[in-house]
Structure 1
C-alpha cells in the first residue's frame, strides 16, 4: 500500500502543501464554557452552560532537507503562509488538514511555532519542526441538535436537592426568575417544595 502523505489545502484556491514527513501524532481538543451563577446560601456557584468551543487540532510537522542542502525555510514558509492575510478577504485563508482516509479537519491556522535544529556551515537551516494549531472553522449557525423552545410551557419534576431558584437557573439562566415557576405552579412557600412535585415552567416573554 502506498504511503498517504498528509497535506494542508487552501480551501479558497485548492493549493496543496504536502508535509515532508507525516506527523507521528496529533491532538484534537474540544471544550465547553460555563457561566458561574451565584446563589445566596450555597457554598459554590451554579454552573450554567454557556456555549461550546471550537475544536483545535495541534501537531508538530517535521521538515528535513539536509540531504539536498536546500534551505528548509522554503518549506516552513509554505506552512506559515496560511497565517498571511488575503488582500481581498482581509483575513487569513481557511485551510483543510487532510491525511488520506484518516483525519480531515477544516479550520484556520491560529499559530505556528518554528524551531530550527540543524544548519549548514554557512548557517542555512536544513532541519525544522513547525508546531501548528488549527482552530475549527464553521459557517452558518446550524445546530446539530434542536433545543426545546423557550416560548413553550414545560413541566419539570422537583428532584432531591432541587430548589425553585436552581430550576430557574437551569431553565432561564437566571435564578431570580423562580417567582414565575412558583406562581404558575401554585407554590406558596418556595422553601417547602417536596421532591417529586411537578412544577410548571412557563415561557417568559
Structure 2
C-alpha cells in the first residue's frame, strides 16, 4: 500500500495545500541551549538553562508539470503564499504538516525555490523547493501540556521568623522534600541551622 500523500494544512483558512510528490526524506532538529556563567576560580563555567528552541522540520519538495506542459508555479506559488502576511491575522498563517503519522504544528520560516526545467518559451515546469518549518506552540498550550512545579525564574527571598527550608519548599514547590534543592543552591550544610534574615535563592525545578 502506497504511503498517503503529505499535506500542508492552513489552520487559519482550513484549507489544504497538497504536494505533488512525497519528499524522499525529512529532517527533524531540536536544540536546547544552556547559558554559560563566568565564575572566577572554577575550571569550567557554570551553566544555566534559559530558553528552549523550537523544533525544526526540513525537507525538499519536488514539483513536475513537464508532461502537462503547464506552469509549475501554479503549485509552487501556493507554498510561497504560506509565508505571506494574512490581512486578518496580521501574520503569516499557522500550519499543520501531516504525512502518515507525522503531525507537526508549525509555521513556514524559510523557503528556497529552484527551477530546473523549462519550456521553449521559458515557462518553468520542474521545481525543487527547500522548506524549513518551525514548531509553533503558544505559551498557554505549553504550560497546559507540561505544568511547571515552580516559577520559571530563580526567586530571592529573606528567611522570616518561623520559616524553614522545608516550609519554603512546601510553599514554593508544593513538596517539602525539595528542601535539598534550596540547600544546594545556597551552599547550606545544616538545614536546621539557618538564621532568620538569611537571603536565599529559590531555583526553579525542571
Q: Tell me if both proteins adopt one fold, taking TM over 0.5 as the criterion.
A: yes
2:157 equivalent to 1:156: no
TM-score (normalised: structure 1): 0.74
Give RMSD over aligned pairs.
2.5
Specify the alignment match of 1:89 in structure 2: 89
SS at match of 1:122: coil
Q: 1:34, 1:48 within 8 Å by CA — same for their partners in 2?
A: yes
SS at match of 1:32: coil
2:9 equivalent to 1:12: no
Supply the distance in 2 between the matched residues of 1:126 and 1:140 (Cα, whole angstroms).
42
TM-score (normalised: structure 2): 0.74
Question: Which stretches of structure 1, 4 residues or more, deviate above 6 A after TM superposition?
Answer: none
Q: Deviations over 1:164-203 (max 9, x none)?
A: 8xx43xxxxxxxxx47x4795649xxxxxxxxxxxxx764
Supply the distance in 1 between the matched residues of 2:202 and 2:99 (Cα, whole angstroms).
48
Deviation at 1:139, TM superposition (A): 2.1
Segments of structure 1 that go 5 or more residues without pairing to the other structure are 158-163, 169-177, 188-200
How many equivalent residue pairs? 172
Supply the distance in 1 between the matched residues of 2:108 and 2:83 (Cα, whole angstroms).
6
2:156 equivalent to 1:132: no
Deviation at 1:81, TM superposition (A): 0.6
2:62 equivalent to 1:38: no
Segments of structure 2 that go 5 or more residues without pairing to the other structure are 156-167, 170-177, 195-199
Specify the alignment match of 1:116 in structure 2: 115
Deviation at 1:131, TM superposition (A): 0.7
